[in-house]
Amino acid sequence: MYRELQQQLTEAVRKILKTSWEIEIGELVMEQPPELSMGEFALPVAFELARKVRKAPRLIATELVEKLRAELPPETGFAAFEAAGAGYINVRIERARLARTLALETPSRHKAGGPHILVEHTSINPNKAAHVGHLRNAILGDTLVRILRATGHRVGVQNYIDNTGVQVADVVVGFLHLEGKSPQEIDALIESCEALGVQAREERFDYICWRLYARVSQWYEEGTEEQQRLRKSLRYETLHAIEMGEVETALVADRISTAVLRLHLLTMQRLGITYDFLPRESEILHLKFWDRAFALLKESGVLYYETSGKNTGCWVMTRPGGGSATEEPDEDAKVIVRSNGTVTYVGKDIAYHLWKFGLLGADFGYRKFFEYPDHTCWISSMTGESEHPNFGGAGAIYNVIDARQSDPQANVVQALREMGHAESADHYTHFSYEMVALTPRCAAELGYHVGEEDRSRAYIEVSGRKGFGVKADDLLDKLTAATLKETDARQPERSGAERTKIAEQIAIGALRYFMLKFTRSSVIAFDFKDALSFEGETGPYVQYAAVRARNIFRKSGISPEQALDAFSTMDLVQALQSADDLWAIWLRAARRDPMLEATIQSAEPATLARYCFQLAQEFNNFYHKHHILTEENEARRTLLLATAAVALRELTTLLQWMGIEVPEAM
């Protein structure tokens, strides 16, 4: 109904402009007045007209107000129009009417269907434990998935696994050559780690790999020049063997990366994050995706063979905005196939993205890999099961990848466009975000040596190679321990299991909200002090508001649904019209869907987080000001209960979109 009112208003203004001044306006700007008391909509249109009509904005506004009153009489749902400020037109609506439709709103308003959207997120190299940076990625991605699904889209979730890359190779080198383990010993280690379970943090396989990866990276830099040369060549031989597949080194790599991958899935599952499909680089290589893509790229002329300059002997492609008409070789061109015939990462990525849009003419094999309570996660394989869901052929894609990769991402889009797939290129979104770094203080707390230069910086970049960073499970453990301490103190009458569950829900709420409240372009300078905060603009603050709302109904004797039903049949026109503190909550419910659309439009989940927080603030305000259960006036009590009910409903919905649950108690 909110939408309909906006539309009616827009049309009325257009009509008036047309008939009175013969003016057609492109986009009619509609805003919200700075104060609730000023109304629901604000139109700055008079400012724009001032020049055309050659009159003061305020006069135009006054004139428009007169005409709007005639055009939109009270029975249309509009209550008042007035000229305000230097020439704004403020519009009030009949609050009770809008509130009534909101009270009766059913949760599933969006129809299923629409284009198939593919979201790729997480994509952690399977050679070490996940860290805070990966958490930002996965939480942003998972939230994007949730809000896309909330608007009725069919969404497939993919987690790309680079299981044949240099990072995996490094850990393989570490086990085989630095530690001198046999493949059998590595298998035994993986098995014993799995037997210990994920609770034995430091003995987890991904934690062992974390430490080993740092050691190997250092090992490459140490020793005599001759040793370094040997170690480097060991590294590239290993990488090459892994890429080839089938040989023993490749099998070892596969076992290591698969073991780490399983742990990543468990870590993310703690946060309520799941996947549908895990495409792996090994299949992209061995199913000859690249060969097909290479042929298509050559055919379309996107790739050309460089015969002079520094890239002689390579297949290269012009960068977006690059290239020149001169005879000179384009030194800035992106190398896709090296002079030794091997393909670069961007090349493989182009092949993968052709597959995503169903443009490659080849498909993965699929087999089941991981079971969630409500669905199966599939993984790519050479020979798969005959029955499997369809994961490619998307109409639109979102790649949740940090901002440092915007260059290669742009190359992939460029390739698609030049190959003639403009439609696909237009529906390719690099959902970019800045990294999570550590504050110098946080780094010092973790026991890392912070150099003189770093100490004055705002943040220090994490580095897997240096083993420098905060591991995801360690952070979750810390958060859970902190929330459990509080929960134990606050909820002594509840069982240990109940308290643990509540503490975990709050910990997840804190973490997920923390990662979402920053806009994507903001580097998060991570600090335990901020992340472990449960007051103010945090997830627990919002959860607490919802828990309070629910407590009211626990003691009131009626359910939120009954409260809303009772409200919808009562005449409460006056009560709501003059109560801005209650109306704030109803209006926020009304603006939820437009907000969600804006969130998707701008691909900025921070908008959602903020909206949710503001609603929680408004509810806490309301909660403090009105004592509901002791209210003696029956009608007033109904109004208050219904307001609490709609707040609870909205908070629950918004939190759910962010992957945050409302605990039983706090």
Q: Which of residues 279-298 bind RNA (CB under 7 A)?
A: 281
Give the chain's largest Cα–Cα span. 90
- Rule CB under 7 A: say whether 4 interacts with RNA: no
In angstroms, what is the minimal distance from the CB of 111 to RNA? Answer: 25
Q: Which of residues 93-122 bind RNA (CB under 7 A)?
A: none
In angstroms, what is the minimal distance from the CB of 342 to RNA? Answer: 6
- State the CB neighbour count (10 A cutoff) for residue 273: 22
**324, 301 contact by CB (below 8 A):** no
Residues constituting the chain: 666
- Name the token pair of 538: 């945090």
Question: Residues 6 or more apart from 411 whose CB is under 8 A from it?
Answer: 317, 319, 320, 334, 346, 350
Q: Can you tell me whether residue 6 is helix, strand or coil?
A: helix
Q: How far apart are CA 386 and CA 344, in angstroms?
A: 32
In angstroms, what is the minimal distance from the CB of 233 to RNA? Answer: 14
Candidate list 4, 7, 19, 34; residue touching RNA; CB under 7 A: 34
- Rule CB under 7 A: say whether 351 interacts with RNA: no
**296, 419 contact by CB (below 8 A):** yes
Q: Choose the stretch contacting RNA; rule: CB under 7 A; options: 178-186, 187-195, 472-480, 482-490.
A: 482-490
Q: How far is CA 587 from the centre of its chain?
A: 26
- Name the token pair of 116: 């198939």
- Rule CB under 7 A: say whether 504 interacts with RNA: no
Q: How far apart are CA 658 and CA 646, in angstroms?
A: 19
- Rule CB under 7 A: say whether 561 interacts with RNA: no
In angstroms, what is the minimal distance from the CB of 461 to RNA? Answer: 5
**217, 170 contact by CB (below 8 A):** yes
- Pattern 358-397, RNA, x by CB under 7 A: ----------------------------------------
> Between the CA atoms of 400, 405, 408 and 410, what dihedral angle is there, to the nearest 10 degrees?
60
- Rule CB under 7 A: say whether 583 interacts with RNA: no
Q: Choose the stretch contacting RNA; rule: CB under 7 A; options: 106-114, 197-205, 368-376, 612-620.
A: 612-620
- State the CB neighbour count (10 A cutoff) for residue 107: 8
Candidate list 71, 94, 162, 661; residue touching RNA; CB under 7 A: 162
- Name the token pair of 554: 């626990």
**542, 612 contact by CB (below 8 A):** yes
Candidate list 256, 293, 615, 628; residue touching RNA; CB under 7 A: 628
- Rule CB under 7 A: say whether 617 interacts with RNA: yes
Q: Choose the stretch contacting RNA; rule: CB under 7 A; options: 11-19, 144-152, 418-426, 532-540.
A: 532-540
| Strands lying side by side in the sheet with 396-402 | 365-371, 376-381, 277-278, 154-158, 116-120, 396-402, 428-433
Query: Nearer to RNA by C-beta: 384 or 408?
Result: 408
**Residue-wise burial string across 328-360, b where 16 or more C-beta atoms lie within 10 A, e elsewhere:** eebeebbbbbeeeeebbebbbbbbbbbbbbebb
What number of chain residues touch RNA (CB under 7 A)? 98
In angstroms, what is the minimal distance from the CB of 136 to RNA? Answer: 12
Candidate list 2, 16, 40, 57; residue touching RNA; CB under 7 A: 57
Query: Nearer to RNA by C-beta: 333 or 394?
Result: 333
Q: How far apart are CA 486 and CA 510, in angstroms?
A: 14
**504, 539 contact by CB (below 8 A):** no
Q: How far apart are CA 24 and CA 151, in angstroms?
A: 32
Query: Nearer to RNA by C-beta: 573 or 635?
Result: 635
663 phi-psi bin (left φ>0, alpha ψ -120 to 50, beta other): beta
Q: How far apart are CA 414 and CA 206, in angstroms?
A: 36
- Rule CB under 7 A: say whether 165 interacts with RNA: yes
Cα 442 to Cα 426, 479, 510: the distances in Å are: 41, 15, 18
In angstroms, what is the minimal distance from the CB of 606 to RNA? Answer: 6
- Rule CB under 7 A: say whether 483 interacts with RNA: yes
- Name the token pair of 50: 């001032």
In angstroms, what is the minimal distance from the CB of 238 to RNA? Answer: 12
- Rule CB under 7 A: say whether 5 interacts with RNA: no
Q: Which of residues 179-238 bind RNA (CB under 7 A)?
A: none
In angstroms, what is the minimal distance from the CB of 390 to RNA? Answer: 27
- Pattern 262-281, RNA, x by CB under 7 A: -------------------x
Q: What is the DSSP letter of 17?
A: I
Q: Which of residues 396-435 bind RNA (CB under 7 A)?
A: 403-408, 434
- Rule CB under 7 A: say whether 521 interacts with RNA: yes
Q: Choose the stretch contacting RNA; rule: CB under 7 A; options: 14-22, 102-110, 138-146, 522-530.
A: 522-530
Candidate list 182, 308, 342, 578; residue touching RNA; CB under 7 A: 342
**563, 553 contact by CB (below 8 A):** yes
In angstroms, what is the minimal distance from the CB of 262 to RNA? Answer: 20
Candidate list 77, 85, 365, 393; residue touching RNA; CB under 7 A: 85
Query: Nearer to RNA by C-beta: 449 or 627?
Result: 627
Q: How far is CA 495 from the centre of its chain?
A: 34
- Rule CB under 7 A: say whether 76 interacts with RNA: no
Candidate list 487, 638, 643, 652; residue touching RNA; CB under 7 A: 487
In angstroms, what is the minimal distance from the CB of 202 to RNA? Answer: 27
Candidate list 378, 528, 541, 583; residue touching RNA; CB under 7 A: 541
Query: Nearer to RNA by C-beta: 358 or 621?
Result: 621
- State the CB neighbour count (10 A cutoff) for residue 55: 15
User: Which residues face 525 on adjacent strands?
Assistant: 437
Query: Nearer to RNA by C-beta: 4 or 407?
Result: 407
Candidate list 25, 166, 450, 558; residue touching RNA; CB under 7 A: 166
Candidate list 3, 15, 229, 310; residue touching RNA; CB under 7 A: 310
